[in-house]
Structure 1
Amino acid sequence: MNAQFTDNDGRLNWRRLGYTARSAFAVLLSLTVLIGGGWFVYSKANDAYIAWRTADDYLGEGTEDVQIVIPRGASITQIGEILREADVIKSTRTFRQVATRSGESDKLQAGRFNLKKQLPAESAFKMLLDPENVERLMVTFPEGTVSVRQWQILERPANAKIGLTYADMEAAAADPSIYQLPGYANGQLEGFLFPSTYQVGEPAVASHLIGTQVAQFNRVADKIKLEEGAQALGVTPRNIVTTASIIAAEVSNAKDQPMVARVIYNRINAGMPLQMDSTVHYAVQRWDTVTTTAEERANPSPYNTYVHKGYPPGPISNPGESALLAALNPAETDALFFVTVNLDTGETKFAATLEEHQANQAEFQQWCQANTGRCSG
């Protein structure tokens, strides 16, 4: 037993023990009051902080997913309003303060973003700057398609988010003079709407998309030196594009395209009509078959190369880079005819004589007979 709790004779001193116990209890009670009071104060202060924060901001990591479209030229305040109306953030003012303090508000861009509802303003701002959250709207225009068919592609379900219709594109194409077409386009869009995959800004504007395609044609034409190459061949730049448009519409395999280019030049130089079904399709505005009827081949349109010798008045599709290069770099051959004998593989056969060509045509007809409905409507 501790000496402070015993008398001189070694017996337990209950008075001293009781006094010490009361003192210890008093200290413990005081500590309990202090701790309890501190926790009470902390709890109240934390509640006040949470109330202050949530008055103008959300806490946490957000709730359900949501897509937001930020239009071109939107200010920080306008972006904040869009986010607030979609319940992504709680306060436009708080979002504006976060963006301004960050020093990165100039990095905010237009577009469609994958966000969450009920985010802290700072989290929403960071997500808008993260490229991983951008939902890019893309549209692909295949090589060799005419303008009308390019614009119809925009109405497919897969492109519904773009929001452009055939009518929108037709209206935007009504005045080609607003686009930076090369002089040899003669104010015509057909042939100069470069086929490629494009990212479409939001909200989508038809004239912007057409302008982007024309600009891409100009870039490619400069890269491959189209005008210089045309001069070297003794062909006008416009007829290079027209030749490329026929090539792109007739064959899909790039390896065959220089051969088709040479067939076109050989027939032109020999004074023969081109007799290309693709030009007849353009003349009658029908593309659901690969062949043409006798009635269609008699159509008087200047684009009908069965009726008229030489080049058609202009391009009959929108060629890509491979077809343009083929028109500038034709193969060396004396072939005057060609026919694609297998529509699945794209196998194309060339001939220098009518007899050879007729044999190739017979092979094509055999394929058509074995694949009912694939060759004619």
Structure 2
Amino acid sequence: MLLVALVLVGGSGYAVWTNLDSLTGLTSPLASKDFPGPGGDQVDVEIPQGATGQAMGEALYEAGVVASVSAFSTAFEANPDSVLIRPGTRTMLEEMSAEDAVALLVKNELVDLQVTIPEGYTVEQVVERAVQVTGLPAEDFEAALADPEKIGLPKQAKGKAEGWLYPDAYMAKPDATAAGLLSQMVGRTVRMLQEKNVDRSDWQTVLTKASLVEREGLHAEDKPKIARAIENRLADDMALQIDASVAYGAGKPGTELTRADTNNAKNRYNTYQHTGLPPGPIANPGEVAVDAVLNPAPGDWKFWVTVNLDTGETKFAEGFDEHQQYVAELREWEKANQ
């Protein structure tokens, strides 16, 4: 009798859900319902990096592509090629059958994606952004970077792409490759230097200086002044003492630098311990920073410091005593904004 009662309760529960569907139009995404297909209007759906079949089904269900997550999951597991589905934005159809939805995803026909690289990104950050947007494996980018000729790096780069990946927006087509994207970035940098009539022998030096200016200056109007201050220090054989360069060589954020870091002479990018420019660029500079290096502002500044870390306000000084006054201003700001 107990068994019969349980069966009846289960049956009544199913009946209640079924009747609720018919009366309200509500549908459980977990119910094994399926559209007959072939589908209607187009709709773009984003498949996240590392998404499981369940997560894909939920995204498609929310977009109205499949009738239920359960039906999609079943079709996903039944298709042996489903493991090849790459992340990215796909153009799907509303009300597709689950089987057809999986088959379309397997084709990996991605919508063109825009990879935007901000000024001042390092190579590591560029790769992270490209992997995130395109879904291409990080290993592909690492392999391309290890083959300088494949991505068009000039000999002046000495095999390192840092500084040569031009910050801009790039359209990644469905058949885009890591090497292809990096080649576009390098090509843009080369064209920019050529258009500005920079002598080929000066390319690496200009990019190195521009990368320092890029990481030190937040506002465009400050960059020509920073470029001039760098030139003035180099002319007097003064250490540049640029924290961004030390941090790059130490592999840590500039906000985490310690006295030990600035005292570490083993760090070739330590511009406290080594005079002159660092061995190469510390980031990928934009055109404004390059222009600042090619046309630095006239002045006798040798010091600069950002006195307000929120606004990026930077003050310049010719002498050390004046500079110390601005440093004290920064310390006051830091105390007030802890």
* Aligned-partner Cα distance in 2 for 1:207–1:370: 47
Query: Shift in Å at residue 168 of structure 1?
Result: 3.1
1:294 equivalent in alignment to 2:259: yes
1:150 equivalent in alignment to 2:126: yes
* Count of matched residue pairs: 248
Contact 2:207 2:290 in 1 (8 A): yes
Unaligned runs of 5+ in 2: 1-36, 47-64, 66-87, 97-109
Query: Shift in Å at residue 154 of structure 1?
Result: 3.5
* Aligned-partner Cα distance in 1 for 2:140–2:173: 15
1:209-248 equivalent positions in 2, closer than 5 A: 209-227=181-199, 236-248=202-214
CA RMSD across the alignment = 2.7
1:114 equivalent in alignment to 2:91: yes
Contact 1:275 1:305 in 2 (8 A): yes
Aligned-partner SS, 1:139: strand
1:138 counterpart residue number? 114
1:159-170 equivalent positions in 2, closer than 5 A: 159=133, 162-170=134-142
Spell out, residue by residue over 1:179-218, the C-alpha distance to the aligned partner (whole angstroms, 9 max, x if none).
2223322222111011111111214411111111001111
| Structure index of larger Rg | 1
4+ aligned runs moved over 4 Å, structure 1? 66-69
1:208 counterpart residue number? 180
- TM-score scaled to structure 2, two decimals? 0.67
1:328 counterpart residue number? 294
Spell out, residue by residue over 1:252-295, the C-alpha distance to the aligned partner (whole angstroms, 9 max, x if none).
211111100011110000010101001101110112x4462101
Query: Shift in Å at residue 118 of structure 1?
Result: 8.6
Find 1:172's aligned residue among 135, 144, 153: 144
Q: Which amino acid aligns with 1:140?
A: T
2:100 counterpart residue number? none
- TM-score scaled to structure 1, two decimals? 0.60
* Aligned-partner Cα distance in 2 for 1:271–1:291: 27
Contact 2:270 2:278 in 1 (8 A): yes
- Over the matched positions of the two proteins, sequence identity in percent amounts to 40
* Aligned-partner Cα distance in 2 for 1:291–1:118: 52
Q: Which amino acid aligns with 2:148?
A: P
1:73-152 equivalent positions in 2, closer than 5 A: 114=91, 116=93, 135-152=111-128
Unaligned runs of 5+ in 1: 1-59, 70-87, 89-110, 120-133, 231-235, 373-377
Contact 1:152 1:165 in 2 (8 A): no
Contact 1:193 1:217 in 2 (8 A): yes
1:354 counterpart residue number? 320
Aligned-partner SS, 1:338: strand
* Aligned-partner Cα distance in 2 for 1:270–1:153: 39
Spell out, residue by residue over 1:117-150, the C-alpha distance to the aligned partner (whole angstroms, 9 max, x if none).
699xxxxxxxxxxxxxx94311211111111122
Q: Which amino acid aligns with 1:137?
A: L
Q: Which amino acid aligns with 2:205?
A: N
